[in-house]
Structure 1
Amino acid sequence: MRRGVWAALTGIVAAATVLASAEVVAVFVGAESSPLFAVGSLVIDLAPPGVKTLTIALFGTGDKAALLTILGIIIVLGAALAGYLEYRRKPFGTVVLVAFSAIAVFAVTTREGASGISAVPTVVGMLVGVVVLNALQQRLKRWGVREDGSRKATATTAASPVVRTGPAALERRQFVTWMVVAAAASAIAGVGARAMNAGAAVVTAARNALVLPTATTSAAALPAGTELGIANLSPVVTPAADFYRIDTALQVPQLNPDTWSLKITGMVENEVEISFAELLALPLVENYTTLTCVSNEVGGDLIGNALWLGYPLHLLLERAKPQAGADMVLSRSSDGFTAGSPLEVLQDASRQSLLAVGMNGKPLPVEHGFPARLVVPGLYGYVSATKWVVEMKVTTFAQDMGYWTPRGWSALGPVKTSSRIDTPRQNAGLAAGTIPIAGVAWAQHTGIATVEVQIDGGDWQQATLADPISADTWRQWVLQWEATSGDHTVAVRATDTSGYTQTSDEAPPAPDGSTGWHTIKLTVQ
């Protein structure tokens, strides 16, 4: 193997020791001081609004995995460059390693709740990485010197092969041994420390042991007609495992319910703080609510409906007594994300907004906000559905902005009336005959009145609607189509109970939600 490649590998191993050492030190300093996820979060924060939309469009709910993969590739390439430069033009490799570490220090120290001490793990990791890089490079150069000398010596003889059992071979074995030991130690220490930092075992155990109280006000049983029973149609209640997840948390926050609390602060007469035990002791209510991400494209799947258990937000706000002039509640997640919700919406007793603790009869999944999150019907998640919520600040839109507003998204995010075709799928090959065209439609906190389907630009035909759960949930719909051979175009539109019909004008998700009719093409044999 060419020594340039070996040199690049020394950089990769050195970078691994940086990350592993930082993770180990972060066990003692605090999990939030871990550099890898802090850098990823910084990338999310600095990305232009269009990049977020594009990433979600390309990868959907796999956007976090995609970002980590890209970040990992960048780290590997940068580390390989550092190793190569250090071998060819010392100390430029060390400079590259220090520069990458400086970016990580900036990312860590600018996170929510960070302090100067948060930089310690990354700085220690950088120092360890520089030492390892130099140690490996010295052994690589000694090997190179020995091997070059051996080649010169054998070149004076009659075409003799290079001797492989002398000093050069010994130096090579020592170099490779150091490489393997450093890489293995980094992997073991890094993985172990990362597991400890995540605290996943503790939080998972606490969640699994939690028995939710019975709701004082239970949701009514679902009407028999809410499910149309059509294959490939989205179920009216989305399983938690299938519920979309879009947020800014690259690393899922691990909050211990024993130490969690929610504070209501700001423009209030009485500041309120409530623990998880106190929250569970309140008269909780259940209701079905459909949540939608503002990044959902027309026909997209960033939407789901679930049964939520929690305490009404309007009652919590009554305790705090918002002051005159306040018009916004800035809710904050433990990872620093914020959402600005209209105060009047959260105070509306008819809206069933919740500080939720349960989802589909079980404690919230960790990735969906355990131990508590906000659920607000009729608003896109980026202005309402704060997960891992720890604070609600009563304020004004003139004074404060949620996370996405300065990044080009609308301060107000009412959900737009929309509909989607679930079956048949785009470009499906079908046989002539009766074919159900079916999907879901939604207009949260307004309700769906009718759904219409158009075939090949013809007249709009009214679909059959499933029975509604409430105005806060989506509805299934179906049209039985007598399909004929050929290529066809199918479109759908919904009309809500206010009389508004979806516009055909196409608009992207930014800045306040996509519009247009979901349209698919089919081929019938």
Structure 2
Amino acid sequence: MTPQNENAAENATKKSTAATIALAALAGAVSGIVFLGAAELAALLVARDASPVVAVGSFVVDVVPRWAKELAIQLFGSNDKLFLIATVGVAALVAAAVAGVLELRWRRVGVALFGAAGIAAVAAAVTRAGASPLAFVPPAVGAVAGAVVLTFAVSWLRRWRVADDEETRGVDRRRFLALTAAAAVGGVVAGVGARLGSAATSSIAAIRSALRLPAPASRVTVPAGAELDVPGISPLFTPNRDFYRVDTALTVPSVDPSTWRLTIDGMVEKKVELGFQDLLRMGLDEYAVTLTCVSNEVGGNLVGTARWLGVPVRDVLALARPRSGADMVLSRSVDGFTASTPLEALTAADRDAILAVGMNGEPLPLEHGFPVRMVVPGLYGYVSATKWLTELKVTTFAADQAYWTPRGYSAKAPIKLSSRIDTPRVDKALTAGRTKIAGVAWAQTVGIRRVEVQVDGGDWQEATLSAPVNRDTWVQWSLDWDATPGTHTLAVRATDLAGRLQEQKRTPIAPNGSTGWQQTLVRVS
């Protein structure tokens, strides 16, 4: 054989090897799709809370560093959970592709990796809060199905590669391609179909739609002038569809109000258990409260105001009679999340801390805690606003820690006095002339006295305030401005009714909320 022929043969061999490795990776990825699809189908049939992607994603949420959590919220907002689920799915397929290559090189190694992945997914599923007795089944079924497909696919690929005659090679090639195509389609159909089927057959959405809450004994009085007529300003009450959502639940828990129970225990004279109807019979009132997430940066949108329908927490705790020495209530969600709320904030007569069952004239949306959640004015959500509530444990800060405390956040977190510019926006050019600078400001449990605006570092100008609904809601503000062509810097600050000026210095979100005056650039043409 001539050197030229030897080079050609060597190149052909390299190309053949590279192609085989690529096909092995394809076989692994397809086996990963089968793993996920079969697991989702099994979850639909026996344990809807045991999806491997969701279980592993929830584990990631629990162990992820604080900075990563904050970055995800900053980049993706309420879509951070969708991003995490997609990332876990992609990572699983990449790992499966690697398993395919290893299976080709070393028999049973790739299958062993699928087994290890199945064990890890089982561990993540069965250790989730509220996991069902059959939570181990979906990841186990998925791992077995994926390993079987990988074994057959790589076996036919290996025989195809070493076959001596073209007829045998052709048969094995067709088997390999047919298996991978069928497996991929089957895995996708099973996974997507199971997800759609789970959503379609869920009865909780239908139960919520049919639920009729009793009329409240009292309603929120909205004074004249509570809402300014300024285009681009945040509405006084945030529609449910626009209300921010930040929590640790990758999938929205499904809680049937007919089986819902709230336990009040711990440092109490009497352990109490209430059902949903028990709570309703205590009598509902309407409250207007602004909620803020601790992850809300200066000028951020993780804040909103709603009309809440509920029962005072102090009335519920009074049934159990907290003992002397208690200073905290550890509230628990059905998904395992916990929040540490000062007992005083829940029992004080001048604080409207409630167990909410309604939001803006309808039962709580599923993603906002249906059937029951906590709403506590003046405290960041991570220490107060527990959704899908199931337990109130009267305790002490010395004895118990909530979910976010060991992760670097303060055990107590009063909401910071803040203000925000809604309009004009940095991404929208203005036309020169008379316009309005407007936005919102909040100081829950205290109230806003004054909002001031500064243009290009000049004198602070006092803005016009809307009439406050109460001390627990934000107010709107506006200032007339003669805008001139060019780029301008706008700044805003607020003063509360106690005379405290909003803190100017910028501080990060952790450990208990950001501070700083918002500044924004505006282009005028």
Normalised by the shorter chain, which TM-score bucket? over 0.9
Q: CA deviation at 1:21?
A: 2.8
Which moved further from structure 2: 439-448 or 79-88?
79-88
Give CA deviations for 1:466-525 in whole Å, capped at 9, x if unaligned. Answer: 111110000100011112222211100011111111111000111000000010012222
CA contact (8 A) 1:284 1:310 kept: yes
* Aligned pairs, number: 508
Matched, 1:136 2:137: no
C-alpha distance in 2 between matches for 1:282 and 1:216: 11
Please tell me whether the aligned partners of residues 432 and 524 of structure 1 are also in contact (alpha carbons under 8 angstroms): yes
* The one of 86, 101, 105 aligned to 1:88: 105
CA distance in 1 between partners of 2:406 and 2:124 (Å): 19
**Kept after mapping to 2: 8 A contact 1:23/1:197:** no
Alignment of 1:429-440 (within 5 A): 429-440=429-440
Equivalent in the alignment of 2:55: 38
Q: How does 1:159-238 map to 2 (within 5 A)?
A: 166-195=167-196, 201-220=202-221, 222-238=222-238
Residue 127 of structure 1 and its aligned partner are, at CA, apart by 2.1
Verify: 1:386 aligned to 2:386, yes or no: yes
Trace 1:316-327 onto structure 2 (pairs within 5 A). 316-327=316-327
Correspondences of 1:195-344 after superposition (within 5 Å) = 195=196, 201-220=202-221, 222-344=222-344
How far apart are the structure 2 equivalents of 1:471 and 1:287? 11
TM-fit CA distance, 1:372:
0.8
How many angstroms apart in 2 are the aligned matches of 1:167 and 1:237?
Answer: 71
Residues 47, 132 of structure 2: 8 Å contact kept: no
| 3-state DSSP of counterpart to 1:468 | coil
Quickly say closer, same or farther: Cα 1:396–1:175, change in 2 above 3 A. same
| Letter of the structure 2 residue corresponding to residue 218 of structure 1 | R
Tell me how far 1:199 sits from its aligned partner.
7.7
Deviations 1:431-476 (A, max 9, x none): 2211200000001111111000011111110000011111000010
What is the CA-CA distance between 1:128 and the residue it aligns to?
2.3
Q: Using the alignment, how far apart are the partners of 1:503 and 1:289 within structure 2?
A: 23
AA of the residue aligned to 1:206: I
* Structure 2: runs of 5+ lacking an equivalent: 1-15
Aligned partner of 2:373 in structure 1 is: 373
CA-to-aligned-CA distance 1:357-378 (integer Å, 9 cap, x gap): 1100001110011111001110
TM-score (norm 1): 0.93
Tell whether the 8 Å contact from 1:245 to 1:367 is kept in structure 2 after alignment.
yes
Asked if structure 2 preserves the Cα contact closer than 8 Å seen for 1:463 and 1:477, the reply is: yes
Q: Decide whether the 8 Å contact of 2:117 with 2:143 is kept in 1.
A: no
Q: Contact 2:130 / 2:334 at 8 angstroms: preserved in 1? A: no
Of residues 290-299 and 170-179 in structure 1, the stretch that sits farther from structure 2 once superposed is 170-179
Change (3 A) 1:197 1:330: farther
Cα distance between partner residues in 1 of 2:213 and 2:132: 36
The separation in 2 between residues aligned to 1:312 and 1:503, in whole angstroms, is 32
Give the partner amino acid of 1:183: A
Deviation at 1:184, TM superposition (A): 2.7
- Work out the CA distance in 2 between the residues paired with 1:523 and 1:39: 46
Question: Is the Cα contact below 8 Å between 2:49 and 2:132 reproduced in 1?
Answer: no
Distance 1:306 1:518 in 2: 24
Hey, what's the Cα distance between the residues in 2 that align with 1:344 and 1:120?
45
Distance 1:74 1:224 in 2: 55
- Deviation, 1:114, is 4.0
Query: Which one is further off, 269-278 or 111-120?
Result: 111-120
For residue 34 of structure 2, the aligned residue among 5, 9, 17 is 17
For 2:68, the aligned partner's letter is V
SS class of match (2:314): helix
TM-superposed deviation, 1:195: 4.7
Instruction: Work out whether 1:72 is the aligned partner of 2:73.
Output: no
TM-score by length of 2: 0.93
In 2, are the aligned partners of 1:198 and 1:254 still within 8 Å (CA)?
Answer: no
Contact 1:200 1:254 in 2 (8 A): no
The 2-side partners of 1:239 and 1:28 are apart by 35
One-letter identity of the residue aligned with 1:229: D
Q: Does the aligned pair in 2 maintain the 1:85–1:93 contact within 8 Å? A: yes
**The 10-residue stretch of structure 1 (419-428 or 325-334) with the greater mean CA deviation from structure 2:** 419-428
1:344-355 map, 5 Å = 344-355=344-355
Cα distance change of structure 1 residues 85 and 304 upon mapping to structure 2, 3 Å threshold: same
Percent of aligned pairs with the same residue?
A: 52
**Distance in 1 separating the partners of 2:201 and 2:243:** 20
Match of 2:10 in 1: none
Partner of 1:159: none
Q: Deviations over 1:297-328 (max 9, x none)?
A: 00000000000001111100111100111111
The equivalent residue for 1:492 is 492
Q: 391-400 vs 124-133, which deviates more?
A: 124-133
Any idea what SS the aligned residue of 1:413 has? coil
CA contact (8 A) 2:331 2:389 kept: yes
Question: Which residue matches 2:461?
Answer: 461
CA contact (8 A) 1:238 1:305 kept: yes
Q: Following the alignment from structure 1 to structure 2, what is the Cα–Cα distance between the partners of residues 347 and 25?
A: 46
Task: Check whether the contact 2:47–2:138 (CA below 8 A) recurs between aligned residues.
Answer: no
> What's the secondary structure of 2:419's corresponding residue?
strand
Q: Aligned partners of 2:249 and 2:199: how far apart in 1?
A: 13
Partner of 1:162: none
d(CA) in 2 for partners of 1:106, 1:402: 23
1:103 has 2:104 as partner: no
Within 2, Cα distance between the matches of 1:513 and 1:521? 24
8 Å CA contact 2:263–2:391 kept in 1: the answer is: yes
Q: Secondary structure at the match of 2:258?
A: coil
- The structural deviation recorded for 1:379 is 0.5
Give the 3-state SS of the residue equivalent to 1:430 in structure 2. coil
Q: What SS does the aligned partner of 2:480 have?
A: strand
More off after superposition, 12-21 vs 321-330: 12-21
Contact 1:34 1:108 in 2 (8 A): yes
In 2, the alpha carbon distance for the partners of 1:455 and 1:132 equals 66
**CA offsets, 1:328-376, max 9 Å, x none?**
1101010000001001110012211111111000011100111110011
Q: Whole-Å Cα distance in 2 between the matches of residues 212 and 120 of structure 1?
A: 38
User: CA separation in 1, counterparts of 2:200 and 2:368?
Assistant: 16
**Whole-angstrom distance in 1 between the partners of 2:193 and 2:104:** 31
Judged with a 3 Å threshold, the aligned counterparts in structure 2 of structure 1 residues 465 and 510 are, in CA distance, closer, same or farther, namely same
Look up the SS of the partner of 2:350 in the other structure.
helix
